[in-house]
Amino acid sequence: MNKEQRLKKRHNAEKRFKLYGLTSILLAIFFVIFLLNAIFSKGSGAFLKTTIDVEVNFDADTLELSESPPLEDLENTDYYELAIDSILKVKKVNGLTEEKLLINLFSPDYEYEIRNFLLDNPKALNQTTVLKLTASDDFDQLHKGNYPRELPEERRRINNFQLNLYDELVNEGKVNKIFNSYLFTKGDSRNPELAGIGGALVGSFFTIVITLLLSFPIAIAASVYLEEFAPKNKITDFIEININNLAAVPSIVFGLLGLGILLGTFHLPRSTPLVAGITLALMTLPRIIIPCRASLKAVPPSIREGALAIGASKVQSVTHHVLPLAIPGTLSGTIIGLAQALGETAPLILIGMVAFVVDIPSIPTDPSASLPVQVYLWSEQAERGFVEKTSATIMVLLSFLITLNFIAVYLRQKFERKW
Amino acid sequence: MNIIILLLVTIFSYLSFLYGRSRIRKITSTQSIKINALPNYYGYYLALWCALPALIILLFWSIFEPAIIKYLISQTLIQNDLNYSSDQLNLLYQKIRSLYEGNFSGTLTEEIKIGVKNYENLQTIAQNSKIVLLLSTFIAAISYGIFRISKNNKARHDVEKILTGLLFVCSLVAILTTMGIIFSLLFESLKFFSAINIFDFLFGMNWSPQRAFVSDASAITALEYENLKGAFGSVPLFAGTAFIALIAMLVAVPIGLFSGIYMAEYASSKVRKYSKPIIEILAGIPTVVYGFFAALTVGPFFRELGEKLNLEVSSESALAAGLVMGVMIIPYVSSLSDDVINAVPQSLRDGSYAIGATKSETIKNVVIPAALPGIVGSVLLAVSRAIGETMIVVMAAGLAANLTINPLESTTTITTQIVMLLIGDQEFDSPKTQSAFALGLTLFFATLILNYIALRFVKKYREKYE
C-alpha cells in the first residue's frame, strides 16, 4: 500500500464516520416524525362523529305530556317509544329482526339525545324536527372508512342488510359527519362513540393544580434554604444526596409510595386527583428543586452583599432581593417539571386511577381519570373506535405539553439575565 | 372540616397580623420604648403564633387520628371475640369504614353494625376534641404572643429564626420522601419475606403469582409454603428486564452516541439549533404514548414481517418493546454525551491535529477515550431509566414470565409485574400484593446503585478537566 492509497483510505474512513453521525441524527428525527405522524393520522378522525338524520315528531300525546308542560315533566317522561318510532320511520323494514338491525345503526344513547334536545328547546314540542342522532361505533368507523367491509359477512359485526341500509341512507344524504362535542364533554363509556375525555381533562386539571400548589412553594423554600442558609454540614449533604437520588428514582416507585403510605397508612380516598396530586408532587419536587437552585445560584453575590451592606438582615436580603430576581428563572424549570408530571402514568395506575369512571369529577376527592391514564385504559379496549379515541386523547395531551414547554421557553428567554 | 379550619386559621392569622402591627404602634406612641424592628414584624410575629401551633396540631391530628380510631375499634372487636387474627380485624375494619362512607357491599353482620355505631361515636368524639384542643391552643398561643409583644424588642429576629426553621423543614421533605419510600417498600417486603424465603425470591426460576391463593401470609403452613415456593422466583423477571433494557441500549447507544458526536464535532451551529430540539421532543413525549405506539404499530408490524419471513413473532415481542424504549432513550444518551464531548479541552484535539490525524481519527483515538468516563456514566443513567420504565413494557411486552433470549418471543419485566399485581382491587396482606413491593424494593436499589456508579463516573471525569 503506497502513501496515496493510505491517505485515500483514511479520508474514506473520515467520510464514513461523518456519515454514521449524520445517519443517526436523521434516524432520530425520522423517529420523531414517524411517531407523531402515526398518532396524528389515526387520531384526527375522532374529532368528527357520524350522525344519521332522523325526523322526530315531538307529539305531546305520544310523550304523555300536557300542552305546556313544566321542565320537570319534560325530564321525567319516557322518550323510548318516541325514539323507537322515529328511528323505524327512517327506513321501511319488515319484522322484528330487521327492526332491531335498523335500531343497531344508532348509538344506544338515542333516547337521551332526543330528550336533551327537547330539554334545550322546549318550544319544539308538537313540532317535527330533524335531529342528527349519533351513529353506533361500527357505522361511525364504516363511514370514516376504517371498517373492513370487504370481509365475508360472517366475520363482520355489520351484516349485509345493515350495509344496504347504510348505503341507501348515504345516498339520501342522511349520513353526516359533524364536530364531536362528546369527545370533550363526556366521561368514559363502554361505547366508543359516547366516550369522552371530559372526566380525564378535569381530573388531570385537579391533579396538576394540586401538584403545583404542593411542589412549587416547598421547592422554592427548600432551594432557598440549601442555597442561602444551609450550613455546610452532614445534614445538608444528606439532604442534597437525597434530592439527587430522588430525581432519578423510577416513577413507579413513587406509585408504590402513594399506595403504601397515602392509601395504606393515611387512608386517603382511592382513585382521586388528591392522592395523584400528592404523589406527583413528591415525584416532581426534586426535579423542580434542581433548576430552582441553579437559578438562585445565578444571582450574583454582589446583590446579596449590597443588601447586607446597607443594613438588611440575611433574611431580608434574600426575600427582598435575591428571591424576586430568581423567581422568573425558577418558573420555567417548574413548568417543565409539571409537564413531566402531566404525562406521568405509572404512579397513577398504582393509586387506582384506572377505575372506570363515568361521571366528571367536581371536587378533587371524587374518583376520576386523568389524560395519560385514559390513553392507557382505552388502548386496552378491543373496539375499533377506541383506537382513534386513544390517538385523539394523545393529541390533546401532547398539545398541552407543547403549550407548557413553549411557555417555559418563552419565560426563559424573556427573563434570561446576563449579569 | 379541615378546609374550614384552615380557612379560619388564615383569617385569624391575618387579623392577628393587623392587630400586632397596630398594637406595637400604639405602644411606641404612648410609651417611649425604643423597638428594634419595623411594626410589620410584630404583625408577622403574632400571626406566626396564631397559625403555627394550630397547623402543627392539625397536621399531627390528621396523621394519627385514623390509626388511633382503628386501634380503638379493633380493641372493642377483640373484646367481643378473642379469636380474631390481625387480618380478620383489618378486613372487619375495612368493612366498617366502607359502610360508614356509604359504599358498602356484601353481607351486613350484627358486628359490623355495632362497629359502625362505635366508629360514628369515635368520629364525633375525635371531631369535638380536635376543635377543643385547637381552640385552647389558639387562645393560649395568641395570648402568649400578645403578652410577648410589649416586652419584646427583637421581633424581627424571632420571625427570621422561625422562617429559617420553616425553610429547613421544607428541605427535609426530600429526606422524608426517601424514608417514606424505603419504609413503605421495606415494611411490605419484610412481610413478604416472612412468608417466602428471600433466596427463593431472588434465585427462583419460576414466576407465577396467580398460583398464590394464600390469604394469610404470616400463618403459612408447611404444605402451602411448598406450593408457594415455586410461585415467586423472580429470575425470569430480572432476565426479562435486563433483556429488554439490552435491546433498548442496542438501539439508543449507537444512535445517541453518534448523534452526540456529530452535534459536538461536526454540525454547524444552524444544524445544531434545529436538530437538537427536535431530538429532544423524544424525551418530552409521555411514555404512555410510546407504549401505545409500540403496542399498536410496532408490535403488529414485526409480527406481519415475521409472517412474511416464516418466523414466529409474538405480537408482544421483546423486540418491539425494546426498540421503542430505545427510541425513547436516544435523547438522554445524545444530549449527555454531547455535553461530555464538549467538555473535552480543545488543546487535546489540537495536539492530535498537529501530528496529522484526521478529524475522525482524533475523535476515535483522543476525544472519546478522554470522554469515556462521562459517556459510560451517561449510558449507565440511560440503563437505569430503561429498567425503571413502566408504561412501554406494560402495554407492549408480555405478561407471562418466560425465561428466553429470543427477542421475537414475549418476556415480562419487573415493572410490568408490579403494575399487573397491583392493578384493580387488591387485598393487602396477601403475598401476591406484597411481592409487588418486594419487586419495587429490588428496582429501587438497582436504580440507586446504577445512578450512584454513574454519578461517580461523571464526577470523576469532571474533576479531571476542571
Query: Tens of pLDDT along A388-398?
Result: 899 999 999 99
Nearest CA-CA partner of B65 in B119, B104, B110, B17: B119
Distance CA A185, CA B39 (A): 53
Sort out which chain B residues have CB atoms less than 8 A from A343's CB and list them. Answer: 285-289
Output the nine-digit C-alpha cell for B142: 395568641
Angle at B109 between CA B103 and CA B115, to 5 degrees: 70
Residue B227 has a pLDDT of 66
Question: How many Å lie between the alpha carbon of A112 and the closest alpha carbon of chain B?
Answer: 28
- Confidence check: pLDDT of A133 > 80: yes
Residue A6 identity (one-letter amino acid): R
Closest Cβ–Cβ partner in A14, A27, A343 for B255? A27
What are the tens digits of pLDDT across the range B176-215? 999 999 998 998 899 888 878 888 888 888 888 776 555 5
Nearest CA-CA partner of B377 in B310, B452, B435, B315: B452
Residue A71 has a pLDDT of 77
CB contact under 8 A, A35 and B255: no
Query: Sorting pLDDT into bands at 50, 70 and 90, what band is A17?
Result: very high
Contact A348, A278 (CB under 8 A): no
List all residues 6 or more positions away from A256 whose beta carbon is below 8 Å from its beta carbon. A350, B181, B184, B185, B418, B422, B436, B437, B440
Interface test with A, best of B45, B48, B63, B171 (most A CBs within 10 A): B171
Residue B326 has a pLDDT of 95
- Sign (positive or negative) of CA dihedral B371, B374, B377, B379: negative
Q: Which domains can be identified in chain B, with CATH numbers?
A: 2-153 (no CATH), 235-423 (1.10.3720.10)
Sort out which chain B residues have CB atoms less than 8 A from A313's CB and list them. Answer: 156, 160
Output the nine-digit C-alpha cell for B20: 400586632
Distance CA B216, CA B86 (A): 9
Q: What is the mean pLDDT of residues A49-68?
A: 82
What are the tens digits of pLDDT across the range B244-277? 999 999 999 999 999 999 998 898 989 888 888 8
Question: How many Å lie between the alpha carbon of A134 and the closest alpha carbon of chain B?
Answer: 27
Output the nine-digit C-alpha cell for B4: 374550614
HSE (side-chain half, CA atoms, 13 Å) at B386 = 35
| DSSP assignment of A36-92 | HHHHHHHHGGGGEEEEEEEEEE--TTTTT--SS--HHHHHHS--HHHHHHHHHHHS-
Query: Sorting pLDDT into bands at 50, 70 and 90, what band is B105?
Result: low
Residue A252 has a pLDDT of 94
End-to-end CA distance of chain B: 57
Question: How many Å lie between the alpha carbon of B127 and the closest alpha carbon of chain A?
Answer: 17
Query: Sorting pLDDT into bands at 50, 70 and 90, what band is A355?
Result: confident
Helices A273-297 + A234-246 axis angle, to 10: 120
Nearest CA-CA partner of B58 in B135, B167, B141: B135
Whether the CB of A101 is below 8 Å from some CB of chain B: the reply is: no
HSE (side-chain half, CA atoms, 13 Å) at A332 = 17
Query: Sorting pLDDT into bands at 50, 70 and 90, what band is A91?
Result: confident
Interface test with B, best of A17, A389, A402 (most B CBs within 10 A): A17
Residue B163 identity (one-letter amino acid): L
Closest Cβ–Cβ partner in B334, B422, B451 for A248? B451
Distance CA A276, CA A353 (A): 8
Mean of per-residue pLDDT scores for chain A = 87
End-to-end CA distance of chain A: 59
B171 → chain A, closest CA residue: A222
Contact B192, B431 (CB under 8 A): yes
B333 → chain A, closest CA residue: A28
Report the SS3 class of residue A108: coil
HSE (side-chain half, CA atoms, 13 Å) at B367 = 27
CA–CA distances in Å: residue B138 to residues A161, B143, B436: 77, 8, 45
Residue A57 has phi, psi (to 5 degrees) of: -100, 105
CB contact under 8 A, A251 and B390: yes
Q: Identify the CATH assignment for A197-415 out of 3.30.565.10, 3.30.9.10, 1.25.50.10, 1.10.3720.10.
A: 1.10.3720.10
What are the tens digits of pLDDT across the range B287-323? 999 999 998 889 889 999 989 988 888 888 889 999 9
What are the tens digits of pLDDT across the range A315-354? 999 999 999 989 888 888 899 999 999 999 999 999 888 8
- Confidence check: pLDDT of B222 > 70: no
Distance CA A376, CA B294 (A): 12
Angle at B330 between CA B326 and CA B335, to 5 degrees: 160
Residue A174 identity (one-letter amino acid): K
CB contact under 8 A, A397 and B289: yes
Global model pTM greater than 0.90: no
Q: What is the mean pLDDT of residues A7-22?
A: 92
What are the tens digits of pLDDT across the range A165-209? 888 888 888 888 889 888 888 888 888 888 889 999 999 999 999
Contact A199, A357 (CB under 8 A): yes
Burial of B268 (0-12, 13-18, 19+ CB in 10 A): exposed
Q: What is the share, in percent, of chain A residues with pLDDT greater than 90?
A: 36
A387 → chain B, closest CA residue: B296
Whether the CB of A238 is below 8 Å from some CB of chain B: the reply is: yes
- Confidence check: pLDDT of B218 > 60: no
Q: What are the domain boundaries of chain A? A: 53-178, 197-415
Distance CA B412, CA B402 (A): 7
Distance CA A169, CA B275 (A): 50
Sort out which chain B residues have CB atoms less than 8 A from A146's CB and list them. Answer: none
Q: What is the share, in percent, of chain B residues with pLDDT greater than 90?
A: 29
Distance CA A401, CA A412 (A): 16
Residue B50 has a pLDDT of 85
Sort out which chain A residues have CB atoms less than 8 A from B327's CB and list them. Answer: 28, 31, 35
Q: Which 5-44 residues of chain A touch chain B by CB within 8 A?
A: 10-11, 13-14, 16-18, 20-25, 27-29, 31-32, 35, 38-39
- Beta bridge partners, A177, equal A50
CB contact under 8 A, A14 and B259: no
Distance CA A164, CA A392 (A): 30
Interface test with A, best of B173, B285, B364 (most A CBs within 10 A): B173
Residue B207 has phi, psi (to 5 degrees) of: -120, 110
The Cβ of residue A399 has, within 10 Å, a number of other Cβ atoms equal to 10
Question: How many Å lie between the alpha carbon of A120 and the closest alpha carbon of chain B?
Answer: 34
Distance CA A101, CA A111 (A): 17
Q: What is the mean pLDDT of residues A159-168?
A: 84
HSE (side-chain half, CA atoms, 13 Å) at A56 = 28
Residue B75 has a pLDDT of 79
List all residues 6 or more positions away from A278 whose beta carbon is below 8 Å from its beta carbon. A210, A214, A258, A262, A268
Residue B225 has a pLDDT of 65
Closest Cβ–Cβ partner in B63, B257, B443 for A253? B443
Q: Residue length, chain A?
A: 419
Question: How many Å lie between the alpha carbon of A294 and the closest alpha carbon of chain B?
Answer: 16
Query: Sorting pLDDT into bands at 50, 70 and 90, what band is B429?
Result: low
CB contact under 8 A, A315 and B97: no
Output the nine-digit C-alpha cell for B25: 404602634
Closest Cβ–Cβ partner in B184, B290, B363 for A257? B184
| DSSP assignment of B416-434 | HHHHHHHSS---TTSHHHH
Distance CA B364, CA B354 (A): 16
HSE (side-chain half, CA atoms, 13 Å) at A94 = 0
Q: What is the share, in percent, of chain B residues with pLDDT greater than 70?
A: 90
Residue B20 has a pLDDT of 84
Mean of per-residue pLDDT scores for chain B = 84
Least confident of A148-152, A274-278, B18-22: A148-152
Residue B427 has a pLDDT of 64
Residue B102 identity (one-letter amino acid): G
- Confidence check: pLDDT of A59 > 90: no
| DSSP assignment of B44-104 | HHHHHHHHHHHHHHHHHHHHHHHHHHHHHHHHHHHHH-TT--HHHHHHHHHHHHHHHHT--
Nearest CA-CA partner of B423 in B399, B389, B449: B399
Q: What is the mean pLDDT of residues B159-173?
A: 91
Burial of A189 (0-12, 13-18, 19+ CB in 10 A): middle
What are the tens digits of pLDDT across the range A396-407? 999 999 999 999
Own/partner long-range contacts of B119-126 (Cβ < 8 Å, ≥24 apart): B119/B69, B119/B73, B122/B69, B122/B72, B122/B73, B123/B69, B126/B65, B126/B68, B126/B69
CB contact under 8 A, A226 and B394: no
Distance CA B149, CA B46 (A): 8
- Pairing between strand A48-57 and A175-179? antiparallel
What are the tens digits of pLDDT across the range B43-92? 888 888 888 888 888 888 887 887 788 788 877 777 776 667 666 777 77
Distance CA A393, CA A197 (A): 7
Residue A285 has a pLDDT of 93
Q: What is the mean pLDDT of residues A149-154?
A: 80
- Sign (positive or negative) of CA dihedral B246, B181, A220, B154: negative
Output the nine-digit C-alpha cell for B374: 462521562
What are the tens digits of pLDDT across the range B360-416? 999 999 999 988 888 998 899 999 999 999 999 999 888 878 788 888 888 889 999
Residue A362 has a pLDDT of 86
Residue B362 has a pLDDT of 93
- Beta bridge partners, A54, equal A131
Nearest CA-CA partner of B434 in B227, B176, B216, B177: B216
Buried b (16+ CB within 10 A) or exposed e, B7-27: eebeebbeebbebbbebbeeb
Distance CA B153, CA A272 (A): 48
